[in-house]
């Protein structure tokens, strides 16, 4: 077996070998955090300190869980088949709740609602309660409900001010919403962890089963945990307190979605006898990049502190550039990338990291103009595409009849003539008799309530559902989907539809069928769909990566551009106004994350003028720029002059007889237009 311990430095090895008692591993950017976590897990198994099912290992994304599993199995040379308790907080919570659903008022085949389902429910409730969606949007309502759930608060436990009309209205919606999803035998993402906490608090015997079983607990990205996640962990820690949390307080950037850095900073107070290991050797960046990042983050007060170092070479100077405006900034970045293309560098190794998503526009326009391929990280996910959601809804209603949202979506998809009037009848009967929509449809058929045409259509779809449930018993779940798409008329609808995007929709459904092959059963696949996160991203062909700094966490690139370092934009004015010094420190941590994504080259820039809300405004350099070190940073203090290779050409007269060579991008664009 491979001696994976030899691949570790001294501090990493100490963090791996000290397996007993509470442990906090402060892992700086690029210091081998995942390597330590996977090596620690492999070491525990190799030394037979625990069986695989006695180790709980928690991650934040499915991608991270897969990477950890693969690394551990590699370290153990395939001697281990599975790690049943390695996964995300939500995925592991599902396992707990499937086993003990009755203790929290659910059936074991409960459905997990996605964001679209939640919004639809909230819209319906808001309408019934005469809440103006223009004044209080469903997104705002859901955000506040999620905040309450992150604090572990059910509707009856929420305390609001009598004077806060908005909160009181939303609390009323929360009560109705929670009762409704309970009636649907469903829960949302917030419920998964909150219900587990309630389960363990109210059932000490159940909690004891798991705390006794899990001899070791390992937690990745601990700085990103929120209140309820941290409570979830503390409830199932065993008497030996063998919990190891790995993370970096300097990379805590998700307070806006509930993360609490105090969980990380107060770990030694919760566990006074804990051991703290600092991983300070960086394996990613050059000395100049690392020096700039370390100097910047040192201005934060609320941090455990560490001094990153590297054996890497000094490397290129960090470039700090000043531009006249955002357009010049985008143009210059395009030029630098063109030089990279000439040197045969891969576009996949280049990233543009912005503070706000609207900053991407100028770069997108520039790249389209000069013919450089790019991807926006954080676009529409595969499982959020309409045709994929349609197919999944069919599978959901086959899986369990209480999923009213799935039943409602598939009832008239494709259109069958079962319109709003029919749906209203179903909802009224369902509400009056406290039964699900499917059962309501069957009862109304029995009493001959529907008009002849509706009666025929409704019977046809219900008969099909019964048939598909029967088919599931004798067919693979992916074969069942083929049957459903054909017999429902969905395939015919796509084939007959005149739409330029129709071919893509068909290919998406083919890909869905391929994806289902990776799962043993329908329930496992549906859980995967529900638990898929926006962080998980498909990477295909060669493109520049454009994303927010938040989305870049955990990634690395040879060359990183960090545009828009201006006061008001970065640090973000709204954040400062809402949270003051706390927000400033988090914004600085965000800057630190951005800079440390770079392995070889980092370009920081700001503009003298920027368009705000359609008007030109003078800009001030970000205060973070003054916090960069003098050494290792090359400052271009002069606004760039008009660039010689001006691409502002008349697209109606692109190819004049006397045109001159412009750039590789110009040539690519020309070829593309000729093909068209």
Please name which of 8, 40, 13 lies closest in space to residue 242, comparing C-alpha atoms.
Answer: 40
The shares of helix, strand and coil residues in the chain, as percent rounded to the nearest 5, are 55, 15, 35
| Radius of gyration (C-alpha) of the chain in whole angstroms | 28
Please name which of 69, 76, 177 lies closest in space to residue 128, comparing C-alpha atoms.
Answer: 177
Q: Is 4 helix (H, G, I), strand (E, B) or coil?
A: helix
Does 338 participate in catalysis according to the annotation? no
Does 221 participate in catalysis according to the annotation? yes
Q: Is 380 helix (H, G, I), strand (E, B) or coil?
A: coil
Query: Are 65 and 87 contacting, i.e. CB atoms less than 8 angstroms apart?
Result: yes
User: Which is the catalytic residue, given 34, 54, 160, 533?
Assistant: 34
Does 33 participate in catalysis according to the annotation? yes
434: left (phi over 0), alpha (psi -120 to 50) or beta: left
Which helix or strand (DSSP H or E) is residue 55 part of? strand 55-59
Residue 639 per-residue DSSP state: P
User: Which is the catalytic residue, given 11, 12, 33, 587?
Assistant: 33
CA distance 438 to 76: 49
User: Which is the catalytic residue, given 35, 69, 597, 599?
Assistant: 597
The stretches of 549-650 forming alpha helices (DSSP H) are 549-552, 573-595, 623-626
Does 573 participate in catalysis according to the annotation? no
Does 396 participate in catalysis according to the annotation? no
CA distance 94 to 645: 57
User: Which is the catalytic residue, given 118, 229, 251, 422?
Assistant: 251
Query: Are 218 and 56 contacting, i.e. CB atoms less than 8 angstroms apart?
Result: yes
Does 229 participate in catalysis according to the annotation? no
Cross-strand pairs, 615 = 612
Pairing verdict, β 609-612 and 615-618: antiparallel
Q: Mention every residue, 6+ apart, whose C-beta is less than 8 A from residue 157.
A: none
How buried is 188 (Cβ within 10 angstroms: 0-12 exposed, 13-18 middle, 19+ buried)?
buried
CA distance 220 to 87: 10
User: Which is the catalytic residue, given 11, 117, 188, 220?
Assistant: 220
Residue 41 per-residue DSSP state: H
Residue 252 per-residue DSSP state: -
User: Which is the catalytic residue, given 221, 250, 329, 403?
Assistant: 221
Q: Annotated catalytic sites, by residue?
A: 33-34, 220-221, 251, 597
């Amino acid at each position: 077996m491979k001696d994976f311990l030899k691949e570790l430095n001294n501090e990493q090895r100490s963090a791996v070998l000290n397996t007993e008692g509470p442990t906090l591993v402060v892992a700086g950017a690029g210091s081998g955090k995942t390597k330590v976590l996977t090596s620690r897990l492999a070491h525990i198994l190799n030394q037979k300190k625990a069986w695989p099912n006695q180790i709980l290992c928690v991650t934040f994304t499915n991608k991270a869980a897969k990477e950890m599993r693969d690394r551990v199995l590699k370290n153990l040379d395939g001697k281990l088949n599975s790690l049943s308790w390695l996964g995300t907080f939500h995925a592991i919570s599902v396992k707990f709740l499937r086993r003990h659903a009755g203790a929290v008022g659910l059936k074991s085949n409960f459905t997990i609602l996605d964001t679209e389902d939640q919004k639809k429910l909230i819209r319906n409730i808001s309408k019934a309660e005469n809440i103006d969606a223009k004044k209080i949007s469903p997104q705002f309502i859901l955000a506040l409900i999620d905040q309450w759930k992150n604090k572990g608060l059910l509707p009856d436990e929420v305390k609001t001010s009598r004077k806060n009309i908005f909160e009181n209205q939303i609390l009323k919606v929360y009560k109705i919403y929670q009762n409704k999803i309970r009636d649907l035998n469903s829960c949302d993402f917030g419920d998964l962890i909150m219900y587990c906490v309630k389960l363990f608090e109210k059932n000490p015997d159940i909690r004891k089963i798991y705390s006794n079983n899990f001899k070791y607990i390992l937690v990745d990205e601990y700085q990103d945990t929120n209140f309820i996640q941290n409570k979830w962990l503390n409830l199932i820690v065993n008497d030996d307190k063998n919990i190891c949390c790995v993370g970096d307080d300097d990379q805590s950037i998700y307070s806006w979605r509930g993360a609490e850095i105090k969980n990380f900073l107060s770990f030694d107070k919760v566990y006074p006898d804990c051991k703290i290991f600092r991983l300070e050797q960086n394996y990613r960046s050059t000395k100049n990049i690392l020096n700039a990042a370390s100097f910047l983050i040192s201005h934060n007060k609320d941090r455990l502190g560490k001094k990153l170092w590297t054996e890497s070479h000094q490397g290129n100077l960090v470039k700090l550039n000043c531009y006249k405006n955002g357009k010049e900034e985008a143009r210059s970045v395009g030029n630098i990338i063109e030089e990279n293309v000439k040197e045969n560098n891969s576009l996949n190794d280049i990233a543009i990291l912005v503070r706000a998503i609207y900053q991407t526009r100028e770069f997108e326009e520039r790249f389209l103009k000069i013919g450089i391929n790019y991807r926006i990280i954080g676009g529409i996910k595969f499982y959020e595409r309409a045709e994929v959601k349609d197919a999944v809804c069919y599978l959901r209603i086959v899986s369990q009849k209480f999923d009213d949202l799935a039943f409602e979506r598939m009832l008239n998809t494709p259109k069958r003539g079962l319109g709003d009037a029919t749906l209203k009848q179903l909802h009224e009967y369902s509400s009056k008799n406290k039964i699900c929509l499917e059962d309501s449809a069957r009862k109304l058929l029995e009493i001959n309530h529907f008009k002849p045409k509706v009666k025929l259509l409704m019977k046809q779809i219900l008969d099909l559902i019964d048939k598909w449930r029967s088919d599931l018993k004798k067919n693979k779940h992916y074969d069942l989907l083929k049957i459903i798409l054909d017999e429902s008329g969905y395939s015919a609808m796509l084939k007959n539809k005149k739409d330029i995007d129709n071919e893509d929709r068909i290919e998406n459904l083919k890909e869905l069928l391929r994806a289902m092959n990776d799962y043993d059963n329908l329930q496992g696949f549906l859980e995967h769909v529900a638990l898929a996160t926006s962080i998980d991203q498909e990477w295909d062909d060669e493109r520049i990566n454009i994303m927010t700094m938040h989305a870049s966490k955990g990634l690395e690139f040879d060359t990183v551009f960090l545009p828009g370092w201006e006061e008001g934009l970065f640090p973000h004015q709204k954040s400062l106004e809402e949270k003051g010094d706390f927000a400033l420190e988090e914004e600085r941590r965000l800057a630190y994350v951005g800079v440390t994504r770079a392995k070889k080259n980092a370009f920081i820039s700001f503009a003298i003028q920027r368009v705000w809300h359609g008007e030109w405004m003078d800009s001030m350099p970000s205060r973070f720029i003054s916090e960069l070190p003098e050494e290792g940073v090359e400052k271009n203090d002069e606004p760039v002059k008009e660039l010689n290779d001006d691409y502002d050409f008349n697209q109606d007269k692109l190819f004049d007889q006397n045109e001159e060579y412009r750039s590789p991008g110009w040539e690519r664009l020309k070829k593309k237009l000729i093909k068209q």
